[in-house]
Structure 1
Amino acid sequence: MNTLVEVVLYTSKTLANGEHPLMLRLTKERKRKYISLHLSLSIQFWDVAKGRPRRNCPNREKINALIDQKIKEYEDQIIDYKTCDRDYTLQTLISKASNQTVRRTVGEYLDSYIDRLLAEKRVGNAKTFQELRTLLIRFCQSLDFYFVDVDAHWLQQLTQWMRSAGYSDNSIGIRFRSLRALYNRAIEDNVARRSNYPFDTFKVSQFREETAKRALTKEHIQQLVALDVRRLTQYPKPFLIMSKDLFMFSYLSCGINLTDILHIRYCDIFGDRLSFHRQKTGKLITFRLQPEAMQILHKYRKERYHPEDYIFPILKRTVHITPQQQYGRVQRVNKRVNRYLKMIGEYLHFPIPLTTYVARHSFATVLKRSGVSTSIISESLGHSSEKITQIYLDSFENSQIDEAMKNLL
């Protein structure tokens, strides 16, 4: 049932000066709640039918502005509840909408949010917001301003500045998505008001460029499987062989990214199933390993190992201890792996440069072309849809995903 939000002159109560208090009245399911606006008026200045002060009311414009603001705060909160399909009582609505925002600058909040991500060992996410902080400092010279200052006009100025600095639309979109995520989190933490949210009118989607296709066909994958990469170089290069193995393992294993692959430990394998928490989101992922993927894991398995040891010989439990050490190591290895994958792709005359990210796209595309429902594997695995894709994978039974993955080779 809808909630009615209106302002009334509460004539049931008369103050010492003969005026009546202005109250915000909430009505839901025949129940009512009143919230004081800390203003009072004589009845002669109030239009009962319109729920507004009369033209002859002193400070009429300011009173109307306050009424509009308060009604909007509550209506915005009601919309938030509806969007999330959450039920609420009048008391929970009042508690949520009446929270006072904490006075913190964008710089203070951004610094604390980066610290929070680092404490949660989400180093990659923290790096994204560190890059945002560097950008905003270059644009504003100082981060000593508040979220209320970040309005549509301010965002347009930032857009113009980034264009003049040579940023592409994709790069601009990435920065704005980070800023939007920060603003949303600030609202959750009561540092910013939902009523001041600028991204309802300033659309970040305007910066989305068409991304080039990054997927291989099943025929390309079969060429890669058949290739003996030792023929590509005069002398044996173990890292070249491992680069192919990492690509194939990603392709055969739900397109998981290189960071997650390199963090797989012996204790994450249960028979023929892999269960692990994604480094980026912390979500639990579990699926049955294909026989070819199991062969790759066995290839790197040590005879003597600790259950917490990493299977692929990149990270060492006793050396790469902190999240920052692990992140730095993975980034360096990622560059080296992509260099070797590019060499392999050129040797096979693939139509696109071969990278670890191509495995992720190819996983989705091959399944789709094999007739697998797009409700299980989403249309794309680009950054803008990665979250949606993971939601789809999480929402189906493991047996459905296991059955779908039989189409990969």
Structure 2
Amino acid sequence: MVGSVKVVLFRSKTLKNGEHPVMLRVTKGKKQSYAGLGFSCADSQWDDKTSRPKKSHPLYGQLLKMCDEKETNARKEMLNAVEETKTFSMEEVLQAGINKPKSEKGVIEFFDETIDRLKQAGRVGYAATFKDTRNHLVSMMGKKEFEFVELGPSFLLKWESAMQGKGLKKTSISLYFRTLRVLVGYARTEGVVKKSYNPFEEFPLTKYRKIETPKKSITQEDVLKIARIELPAMSDRFHAQQFFLFSYYCRGINLVDVANLTTENMHYLESGEVRLRYTRKKTGHYFDIKMLEPAIKIWEFYQGRRPPRNKYVWPILHSQVHVLPQQINWRIERICRQWNQGLRLVAKEAEIGEYLTLYVARHSFAMAMKNSGASTTVISELLGHESEETTRIYLRQFPQQTLDNASQALIIPGTNLRRIEPEEEVTLRQTETLRKSNEVRKAG
């Protein structure tokens, strides 16, 4: 036998009340390890044959149930570990015995805990993503709770087929899978599941990495077209234009972070430099950006029109009105919709044949940096990405003209390549047939 688990009366230690602590003992070869169960028992009230309190103990029923539960949980942990890796950790077996079993916390229960935690941290938008994924899982499973052990490759395949059957786009399917994968990572970190637990090991998401999406960036020339348009001040079109330019010239700062900027984020140095310093809400990445002249002018325009009792500079949030995280999130979502509509009108007026959104400014900044010769590593740092893989997704698509020019390089200057007309094609076939016939006669 590889090892054993047993509840014992630890007589080597005597407490002040004269009783001995009841402990869980794990044996592996010649080694033994103990963990207390949180109660003690007198020697006269302990049955060594059953390794349980005697029936005469005043708390017999309660303690018997506790001993059975702790011993069973530890033994189950040991057997599962042996089945997977042919060995086990004495420490993990003890922890499984004295703590709540890891598998006891369900997937939906952990989803709800994570959603609440994100809301408390003010990450309302991210919490909404988890809630959407949770609700989709409940709908697909047809039950309100299930265990982490059910999240195997067969489950993921079934979920994928269900989503495809409902006509979900690859981008949506990818988002659901990635959210569930993040949740599993949280569960590993918090000890809800084992460190080795990974249902995506046999279900890699690599096929969702290269999803073709519409073009998400515009050229520097198109950015200048947007900047040259004169619009009524303080209109939605005007705000959309100013935000797009501000984001473009400030390393692609997004709407959530712009909405939360105050005068304390802008620093005017003695050297004459103006720097924007803030922490990105989504990733916690700290930015210290040297402000370019176009961005400074936009900032000073809005700062000069800021209401006295509002700490925020941009006309998105009001510190006296938008206080709760949910209020802030709703307000930003509303502004996003309004300004996106305004930006599309601006693009039409500027004769830019692209479907623009506020986020295009971030992608356009990244592509401008790439076209200027900056490396992926530098661009990744400028954007505040946690990995260069995310940056590569931003830079994956090339302008169509660039691809056309690359193909054109196959044509050697000075050569006369023209289309063969149908009648010429017939003549060529006849010539080839005649040549083959002559070869056959010569061979004969």
Q: Following superposition of structure 1 onto structure 2, how do residues 5-404 of structure 1 map, counting pairs within 5 Å?
A: 22-23=28-29, 67-71=82-86, 99-100=95-96, 102=102, 103-208=104-209, 209-230=211-232, 238-271=235-268, 272-302=274-304, 309-378=311-380, 386-388=385-387
Change (3 A) 1:71 1:276: farther
**Counterpart amino acid of residue 135 in structure 1:** H
Contact preservation (8 Å) 2:376, 2:388? no
Contact preservation (8 Å) 2:181, 2:200? yes
TM-score under structure 1 length normalisation? 0.70
1:299 is paired with a residue of what secondary structure?
helix
Aligned length, in residue pairs: 317
Contact preservation (8 Å) 1:344, 1:354? no
| Residue 351 of structure 1: how far off its partner (Å) | 3.2
In structure 2, C-alpha distance between the alignment counterparts of 1:265 and 1:112, rounded to whole Å: 32
| Residue 23 of structure 1: how far off its partner (Å) | 3.9
Change (3 A) 1:322 1:349: same
| Corresponding position of 1:400 | none
**Counterpart amino acid of residue 304 in structure 2:** K
Superposed structure 1 runs of 4+ greater than 6 Å apart: 7-10, 303-308
2:318 is paired with a residue of what secondary structure?
coil
In structure 2, C-alpha distance between the alignment counterparts of 1:64 and 1:241, rounded to whole Å: 66
TM-score under structure 2 length normalisation? 0.64
In structure 2, C-alpha distance between the alignment counterparts of 1:308 and 1:284, rounded to whole Å: 24
Contact preservation (8 Å) 2:251, 2:382? no
Change (3 A) 1:390 1:264: farther
| Residue 242 of structure 1: how far off its partner (Å) | 1.3
In structure 2, C-alpha distance between the alignment counterparts of 1:216 and 1:304, rounded to whole Å: 31
Root-mean-square deviation (Å): 3.3
1:139-188 CA distances to partner (integer Å, 9 max, x unpaired)?
A: 01223211111000011111111111111111101100000000110111
| Residue 319 of structure 1: how far off its partner (Å) | 0.2
In structure 1, C-alpha distance between the alignment counterparts of 2:253 and 2:363, rounded to whole Å: 10
| Residue 347 of structure 1: how far off its partner (Å) | 2.2
In structure 1, C-alpha distance between the alignment counterparts of 2:372 and 2:94, rounded to whole Å: 53
1:195-252 CA distances to partner (integer Å, 9 max, x unpaired)?
A: 331111101222341223211111111222222235xxxxx76221111001000001
Contact preservation (8 Å) 2:231, 2:238? yes
| Residue 274 of structure 1: how far off its partner (Å) | 1.2
In structure 2, C-alpha distance between the alignment counterparts of 1:328 and 1:362, rounded to whole Å: 27
Identity of aligned residues (%): 30
Higher mean displacement: 287-296 or 297-306 = 297-306
Change (3 A) 1:71 1:290: farther
- Rg (Cα) greater in structure: 2
Change (3 A) 1:183 1:126: same
**Counterpart amino acid of residue 237 in structure 2:** L
Q: Where does structure 1 lack aligned partners over 5 or more consecutive residues?
A: 1-6, 11-20, 25-33, 37-62, 75-93, 231-235, 393-409
Contact preservation (8 Å) 2:156, 2:203? yes
| Corresponding position of 1:50 | none
In structure 2, C-alpha distance between the alignment counterparts of 1:96 and 1:276, rounded to whole Å: 42
In structure 2, C-alpha distance between the alignment counterparts of 1:111 and 1:327, rounded to whole Å: 19
In structure 1, C-alpha distance between the alignment counterparts of 2:3 and 2:109, rounded to whole Å: 41
**Counterpart amino acid of residue 274 in structure 1:** L
User: Per chain length, whose mean CA-contact separation is higher, i.e. which structure has more relative contact order (CA < 8 Å, sep 6+)?
Assistant: 1
| Residue 282 of structure 1: how far off its partner (Å) | 2.9
Contact preservation (8 Å) 1:148, 1:196? no
Change (3 A) 1:237 1:151: same
In structure 2, C-alpha distance between the alignment counterparts of 1:267 and 1:278, rounded to whole Å: 15
Higher mean displacement: 207-216 or 160-169 = 207-216
Change (3 A) 1:95 1:213: farther
In structure 2, C-alpha distance between the alignment counterparts of 1:332 and 1:200, rounded to whole Å: 39
Change (3 A) 1:246 1:64: closer
**Counterpart amino acid of residue 388 in structure 1:** S
Q: Where does structure 2 lack aligned partners over 5 or more consecutive residues?
A: 5-26, 34-77, 269-273, 392-444
| Residue 106 of structure 1: how far off its partner (Å) | 0.8
| Residue 68 of structure 1: how far off its partner (Å) | 4.3
In structure 2, C-alpha distance between the alignment counterparts of 1:229 and 1:95, rounded to whole Å: 68
In structure 2, C-alpha distance between the alignment counterparts of 1:265 and 1:217, rounded to whole Å: 30
